C-alpha cells in the first residue's frame, strides 16, 4: 500500500516566467509554465533547441530563479529561499543525472556513490550503497575508477549515486545523449524502475525512444507547453516533433 498518490506533487510550477537579460537583450525563455509532476511519475520534456527545456529543469530544481511565478519542490515554495536553504533542500531531496556523468575521476565507483553523503557530513550507509551499486549491475566494479568503465557503466554509477540519497525527485538532462543504443536502453529502464518505485523523474531529451519510457511527454515551443502526450510511443513522439518543427518553420517564415 502506498500513500504516494495522495500527497502533493513533489514538483509544481505555477505561471513560471523566465526572462534572461533586460530591455533590448531580453530573451523570454519560459512564458507562463504551469505543470505538476506527480509522485512516481516519469516525465519527458521535449521541444526544439532553445524552446526552454533546460531552463524549465533549472527553475524546477531551484538552480535558476523564475522572473515570476512560483515553484514548489517537495512541498517547499522556493521563492525567497537563500542559496544555503536551496542547497540543503536539493541535497536532501533531489538528484541530478547529466549527459556528462559528472563523476570524480580520482574516486572509485563506491566512493563516487558515497560522495554526496560525505559532502553532506553524513556517514554513508555501506549496506545501502552496496545495494544501489548492485541494482545498477556494477557490484563487480566497485573498486574501479570512472576512466576504467564504459560510458554506459559511468552513467549507471551516476544513477547509483543519485539513488543512494533516496531522493524524492531526479532531474535528468539528456542522460542518454552520450550513450550507444543498447546502454541507453539499460539506463532508461533503470529510470523507469525508479519511477515505478515512487521516485519522480523529470528528463529533458531530444530522443523519441527515450521519451517513450516516460508516462507523459511535455512539448515546449518558445517557452510554452504547447501539448502533452500520455503513454507515448516512439512513433507518436517522432510524428508530433516533426509536426511542431514544421509549424515552427512556418511561423518563422511568416514573421
Ligand X SMILES: Nc1ncnc2c1ncn2[C@@H]1O[C@H](COP(=O)(O)OP(=O)(O)OP(=O)(O)O)[C@@H](O)[C@H]1O
How far apart are CB 131 and ligand X at their closest, in Å?
Answer: 34
Question: What per-residue string of b and e applies to 47-79 under the rule 16 or more CB within 10 Å gives b?
Answer: bbeebbbbbbbbbbbbebebeebebbbbeeebe
CB atoms inside a 10 Å sphere around CB 228 = 12
Residues 6+ apart with CB under 8 A from 30: 16, 17, 18, 52, 55, 56, 59, 66, 223, 224
Please report how close the Cβ of residue 73 comes to ligand X at its closest, in angstroms. Answer: 18
The one segment of 8-16, 21-29, 87-95, 138-146 that binds ligand X by CB under 6 A: 21-29
CB-wise, 49 or 181, nearer to ligand X?
49
Using DSSP's 3-state secondary structure scheme, residue 137 falls into coil
Q: How far apart are CA 59 and CA 65, in angstroms?
A: 6
Neighbours of 196 (CB within 10 A): 10
Among 5, 8, 15, 21, binds ligand X (CB under 6 A): 21
Q: Which is nearer to ligand X, 198 or 245 (CB)?
A: 245
| Contact set for ligand X, span 199-218 (CB under 6 A) | none
Question: How many other β-carbons are positioned within 10 Å of the β-carbon of residue 182?
Answer: 8
In whole angstroms, how close is the CB of 25 to ligand X at the nearest point?
8
Q: By the 8 A CB rule, do 61 and 200 touch?
A: no
**Binding to ligand X (CB under 6 A): which residues in 51-110?**
51-55
Nearer to ligand X, 52 or 124 (CB): 52
Q: Around Cβ 238, how many Cβ atoms within 10 Å?
A: 16
Q: Which is nearer to ligand X, 110 or 207 (CB)?
A: 207
Give the DSSP H or E segment for 112.
Answer: helix 109-119
Q: Are strands 42-46 and 216-221 parallel, antiparallel or unpaired?
A: parallel
List the interface residues with ligand X, window 23-62 (CB under 6 A): 27, 29, 47, 49-55
- Applying CB under 6 A, the site for ligand X has a residue count of 12
Q: Is 112 in the site for ligand X (CB under 6 A)?
A: no
* Distance of closest approach, residue 72 Cβ to ligand X, in angstroms: 20
Closest CB to ligand X among 52 and 146?
A: 52
**In the numeric block, which cell numbers belong to residue 204?**
529533458
CB of residue 102 vs ligand X: minimum separation in angstroms?
A: 17
Cβ closest to ligand X, residue 115 vs residue 209: 209
Within 113-172, which residues bind ligand X (CB under 6 A)?
Answer: none
Nearest Cα residue to 76 out of 166, 130, 12: 12
Provide, rounded to whole angstroms, the least separation between the CB of residue 167 and ligand X: 22
Q: Nearest distance from residue 65's CB to ligand X, in Å? A: 12
Residues that bind ligand X (CB under 6 A): 20-21, 27, 29, 47, 49-55
Amino acid at each position: 500500500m502506498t500513500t504516494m498518490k495522495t500527497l502533493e506533487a513533489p514538483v509544481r510550477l505555477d505561471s513560471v516566467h523566465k526572462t534572461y537579460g533586460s530591455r533590448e537583450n531580453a530573451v523570454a525563455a519560459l512564458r507562463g509554465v504551469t505543470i505538476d509532476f506527480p509522485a512516481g511519475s516519469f516525465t519527458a520534456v521535449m521541444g526544439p533547441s532553445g524552446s526552454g527545456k533546460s531552463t524549465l529543469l533549472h527553475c524546477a530544481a531551484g538552480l535558476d530563479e523564475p522572473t515570476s511565478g512560483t515553484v514548489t519542490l517537495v512541498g517547499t515554495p522556493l521563492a525567497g529561499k537563500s542559496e544555503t536553504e536551496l542547497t540543503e533542500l536539493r541535497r536532501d531531496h533531489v538528484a541530478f543525472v547529466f549527459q556528462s556523468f559528472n563523476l570524480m575521476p580520482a574516486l572509485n565507483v563506491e566512493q563516487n556513490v558515497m560522495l554526496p553523503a560525505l559532502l553532506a557530513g553524513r556517514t554513508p550507509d555501506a549496506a545501502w550503497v552496496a545495494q544501489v551499486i548492485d541494482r545498477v549491475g556494477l557490484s563487480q566494479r566497485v573498486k574501479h575508477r570512472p576512466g576504467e568503465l564504459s560510458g554506459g557503466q559511468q552513467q549507471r554509477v551516476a544513477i547509483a549515486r543519485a539513488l543512494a540519497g533516496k531522493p524524492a525527485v531526479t532531474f535528468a538532462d539528456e542522460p542518454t545523449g552520450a550513450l550507444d543504443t543498447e546502454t541507453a536502453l539499460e539506463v532508461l529502464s533503470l529510470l523507469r524502475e525508479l519511477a515505478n518505485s515512487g521516485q519522480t523523474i523529470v528528463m529533458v531529451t531530444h530522443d523519441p525512444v527515450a521519451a517513450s519510457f516516460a508516462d507523459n511527454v511535455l512539448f515546449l515551443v518558445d517557452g510554452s507547453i504547447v501539448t502533452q502526450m500520455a503513454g507515448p510511443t516512439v512513433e507518436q513522439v517522432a510524428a508530433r516533433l516533426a509536426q511542431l518543427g514544421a509549424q515552427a518553420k512556418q511561423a518563422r517564415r511568416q514573421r
